[in-house]
Amino acid sequence: MRLGFAGTPEFAERILAALIGSRHAVAVVFTQPDRPAGRRRRLMPSPVRVHAEAQGLCVQAPERFHAQERWLSGLDVLVVAAYGLILPPAALAAPTRGCLNVHASLLPRWRGAAPVERAIMAGDAVTGVSIMQMDAGLDTGPVLLRREVDIDAADTGATLTTRLAEVGAAALLECLDRLDDLNAAPQDDARATYAPKLTAADATIDWSRPAIDIERQVRALAGRQPASTHLRGLAGRGNSSNKNGARVPDNEPVRMNVLAASAIPANAPPGELVKHGRGFAVGCGAGVLALETVQLARGKGRPMAAASAANGYPDLFKPGARCDVGA
């Protein structure tokens, strides 16, 4: 078949790679425009754009998906995977056999922009991939194929996304090969849940919540916009230096990203640091969260083992020091 493809992040890149390696022909690729990234906020192309251009494919990166029908003319199917832009009705109707979406959840659960992270945060044991015929709604179209994937206790948003992309690529190729035989099953809207786009509020740790919920938050966001808090050392213990070498009050809050952590059964006031082995844990609404890997807005700001951070910044890591509790 003659295909078009629309996608942006690494999840979509893996789907595109599978299509390129298949017997189908990819005629055009749509992706979001280059966006600022990194500390210097340089414009960076999407993973899909980089891969498509390396393969010599025609790439279009419109700000909005309108007036693109000329590129869709003559396509059998437009495949969409984590594109991030809304397709207007004219675009949905342009390919001869419509548009297929590779969605990283078992629809109708977790419709929307962040299904992988929301599944981990919710403590789901199973998620998966759905190949859906697109309609004008938000992930509401009938489903042609589903494949389940277990969520492991150690899964992060990044590791689970990688597994789902592999499963999704295989499911998509199977779906394209069986397109004449598959029956599209309508979704049960009454069972729908939603996975809204992640915001800064999703990354802020609220230590009044149970430790298991915060541990899931940390895993879901690892490798993306990490879960974070502000740590305050104990007052009256002398001043310290910030990342620029300037002296700051010892009780000045320091941003701390929590990149890996474990929920353990113990008790401590929410937000308060307590000793745990060679390192520290933080009290939660229920249980405590043992810090494993952190990143401080101090020094070079690199990720480090929490025990190393405690050794390097004793002004911050002391029993009784506190993290801001509220979300």
Helical H segments across 21-150, by residue range: 47-54, 69-72, 89-93, 115-121
Residue 106 confidence (pLDDT) above 90: yes
Check if the beta carbon of residue 131 is closer than 8 Å to that of residue 167: no
269-309 tens-digit pLDDT: 999 999 998 889 999 999 999 999 999 998 888 999 999 99
238 pLDDT higher than 80: no
The least confident of 25-34, 164-173, 232-241 is 232-241
Residue 193 has pLDDT above 90, yes or no: yes
CATH of region 200-323: 3.10.25.10
Q: Are 262 and 215 in contact (CB under 8 A)?
A: yes
State residue 120's pLDDT score.
98
Q: Going by CATH, does the domain composed of 2-195 fall within 3.40.50.170? A: yes
Checking 266-275 for CB contacts under 8 A at 24+ apart, the result is 270/207, 270/208, 270/325, 271/207, 271/208, 271/322, 271/323, 271/324, 271/325, 272/320, 272/321, 272/322, 272/323, 273/231, 273/317, 273/318, 273/319, 273/320, 273/321, 273/322, 273/323, 274/319, 275/319
Residues 6+ apart with CB under 8 A from 103: 111, 115, 129, 130, 131, 132, 139
Q: What percent of the chain has pLDDT over 70?
A: 94
pLDDT of residue 151: 98
Asked if domains 2-195 and 200-323 share a fold, the reply is: no
At residue 248, the pLDDT reads: 47
- The domains of the chain are located at 2-195, 200-323
Q: Is the pLDDT of residue 224 over 80?
A: yes
Tell me the per-residue pLDDT of 33-74, one tens digit each, with 9 for 90 and over. 999 887 778 999 999 999 999 999 999 999 999 888 889 989
pLDDT in the model for residue 116: 98
What would the pLDDT profile of 113-145 be if each residue is shown by its tens digit? 999 999 999 999 999 999 999 999 999 999 999
Q: Name the band, by pLDDT with cuts 50, 70 and 90, for residue 249.
A: low
Q: Are strands 111-112 and 194-195 parallel, antiparallel or unpaired?
A: parallel
Flag whether pLDDT at 327 surpasses 80.
no
Backbone CA torsion sign across 80, 83, 84, 88: negative
pLDDT, residue 250, reads 58
- Picking from 214, 211, 321, the residue whose alpha carbon sits closest to that of residue 266 is 211
For all residues of the chain together, what is the average pLDDT?
93
Strand 273-276 relative to strand 279-283: parallel, antiparallel, unpaired? antiparallel
Look at residue 277 and give its three-state secondary structure. coil
Tell me the percentage of the chain whose pLDDT exceeds 90.
85
Residue 241 pLDDT > 60: no
